Copies of this chain bind each other. A is one copy, B any other.
Amino acid sequence: MSEPRVPVPAGSDFTIDNLPYGAGDPGDGPRPICAIGDHVLDLRSLAEAGMLPPEAVESFGEERLDAFMASGRPVWQETRARLVELLTTDEFDRLPEGVLRAAGEFQMVLPFRPGDFVDFYSSLEHATNLGRMFRPDSEPLLPNWRHLPVGYHGRASSIVISGTPVTRPRGQVKAGDDPPDLRPTAALDIELEMGFAVGPGNDLGTAIAIDDAGDHIFGMVLVNDWSARDIQRWEYQPLGPFLGKSFATTVSPWVVTMEALAPFVTAPPVQDPQPPAYLRASRDWAIDIQLEILLASSVMREAGADPVVISRTNFAGMYWTIAQQLAHATVNGTNARTGDLYASGTISGPDPGSYGSLIEITWNGRDPIGLPDGSERRFLEDGDTVILRGWCEREGTGRVGFGECRGTVVAGGT
């Protein structure tokens, strides 16, 4: 691909091969935008100037990406090709004033409005680890796990944009033989996840066939599915997680499109047993996304210290792919709607350095991690900042990254 005419700093997540979409507010209201290096294209202004495909113009008049996401893959592809053209040819010199601006001038908002939020449980390693800790007396992996992508509905209202403070939740906790009581969680955790956002939905009573999944998946974001393990442990049987998860879910502001991720698609792990036909795709769907979790205490932040990496893993190791997840989630005729968010479940690799949650990294507190300020962590303390990062890299193409998904824990009221 040609070089963009706007400088892209070395190591930037937002090369010309990425062009992720978001929604940002430069002061007079949110609008669809696109990132390139440290700059942002105001897509509404660009559309109003007649420089984008006619099919995309109306949707860029909206505050968020939902209308553009609903417009479908041909419009996505045409728009992407046009943006590359505008950024790499002499047309760049004719961009209207104010269309290309410093990224810092925009206050990012949620890029789309999730109508429903589904959270899967698709890492074999994570499901096994949690099974060992939550159900120590039985097989860690339940009999259904290798036959279908286990998932459940989470709360959509508390999905927040990167940077939103996360208030430590209260909830009923049962400790030992004491009666349960209401208290702030003492086991606040993170879950490193990726999520995909739905473009065009399906009608109620129909299913999305696995080989049609690509027409329905617009792009992906980083997801931190904050969890209160003590609340979750007491409440979650028999109907699943509820208040232990519903207090906050943070997403990254930039949606990286499936077009940008295409060069990084790879073979998923072999599935044994082979899943039923409706879960067998005719092409690969795993994606080689490198991921890391960083942590900084308030003491570290005040001292100007960098956050430390506490885990590194890769999305490609997930047992169930996003195409399998969407095909499964709609096989009963449920309607997915534009903007629905389907998260992967915690992404854990095979060893503690690649686990996607503190409960796994510290093995439920048995093996605390040390921070540069001399403190230890089993779970999160007030003032801790967690940052998720994700990116794709390979020879011959520019870096395609997700930016970051950040949140700082604040004490709750009493």
Contacts and interface: CB of A to CB of B under 8 A. Distances in A.
A277 interface: yes
Contact of A157 (B115, B135, B158, B332): B115
Interface stretch (A25-33, A40-48, A74-82, A147-155): A147-155
A364 interface: no
Copies of this chain assembled into the complex: 2
B148 A247 contact: no
A332 B328 CA distance: 31
Chief secondary structure at chain A's binding surface = loop
A243 B329 contact: yes
Which of the four size classes fits the interface of chain A?
35 or more
Interface stretch (A6-14, A176-184, A376-384): A176-184
A331 interface: yes
B335 A179 contact: no
Nearest to A135: B238
Contacts of A52: none
A154 B240 CA distance: 11
Nearest to A169: B332
A67 interface: no
Contact of A182 (B234, B248, B331): B331
Contacts of A170: 207, 331-333
Nearest to A147: B180
A23 to B, nearest CB: 18
Given A171-B331, A242-B329, A246-B334, 6 more contacts: A117-B153, A147-B172, A158-B335, A182-B276, A240-B240, A247-B332
Interface of A: 115-118, 121, 131, 134-135, 142-144, 147-148, 150-158, 160, 165, 167, 169-172, 174, 179-182, 201, 204-207, 228, 231, 234-244, 246-248, 273, 276-278, 328-329, 331-337, 340, 412-413
